[in-house]
Amino acid sequence: MGAAPSIVAAELVQRGVSRPLAERSAAELAAHPALAAARRLGRTGRRLELVQRLLTFQATHAAHPSEIERRPTPSSDEFFDRYYATSTPVVFTDLMSGWPALEAWTPENFRERFRDVVLAATDERESDPVYDARTEAHSKSVTMGEFAERVLAAGPTNDFYMVARNKNIARPELASLFDDVRLPDGWFDSPHIATSSALWFGPAGTVTPLHHDASSILFCQVFGRKHLRLASPLEVSLFEGALAMYSSLNPERPGDDQRATGVTFKEVTLEPGAALFIPAGWWHHVRSLDVSISFAVNHFARPNNFDSWFRPGEL
Looking at the structure of the chain, the number of domains it has is 2
Quick one: pLDDT band at residue 235, thresholds 50, 70, 90? very high
| CATH at residue 178 | 2.60.120.650
Shared domain for 82 and 36, answered yes or no, is: no
Tabulate helix, strand, coil % of the chain (nearest 5). Answer: 35, 20, 40
Quick one: pLDDT band at residue 257, thresholds 50, 70, 90? confident
Q: Specify if 60 maps to a domain.
A: no
Q: Specify if 299 maps to a domain.
A: yes
Shared domain for 36 and 168, answered yes or no, is: no
Q: What is the pLDDT of residues 62-91, one digit of tens each?
A: 999 999 999 999 999 999 999 999 999 999
Contact between 101 and 177 (Cβ < 8 Å)? yes
Biggest alpha carbon–alpha carbon distance for the chain:
86
Q: Specify if 58 maps to a domain.
A: no
Q: Specify if 59 maps to a domain.
A: no
Q: Please give the distance of CA 98 from its chain centroid, rounded to a whole number.
A: 28
Nearest C-alpha neighbor of 206 from the set 299, 109, 288: 288
Shared domain for 161 and 41, answered yes or no, is: no
Q: Which residues does 31 contact at the CB level (< 8 Å), separation at least 6?
A: none
Q: Strand 90-92 to strand 197-202: parallel, antiparallel, or no bridges (unpaired)?
A: unpaired
Shared domain for 105 and 43, answered yes or no, is: no
Quick one: pLDDT band at residue 56, thresholds 50, 70, 90? very high
* Average pLDDT of every residue of the chain: 95
Shared domain for 212 and 266, answered yes or no, is: yes
Residue 190: pLDDT over 80: no
Q: What distances in angstroms separate CA 60 from CA 66, 238, 263, 264, 308, one per listed residue?
A: 9, 17, 9, 7, 31
Shared domain for 109 and 87, answered yes or no, is: yes
Q: What distances in angstroms separate CA 79 from CA 22, 90, 189, one per listed residue?
A: 61, 10, 15
Shared domain for 105 and 233, answered yes or no, is: yes
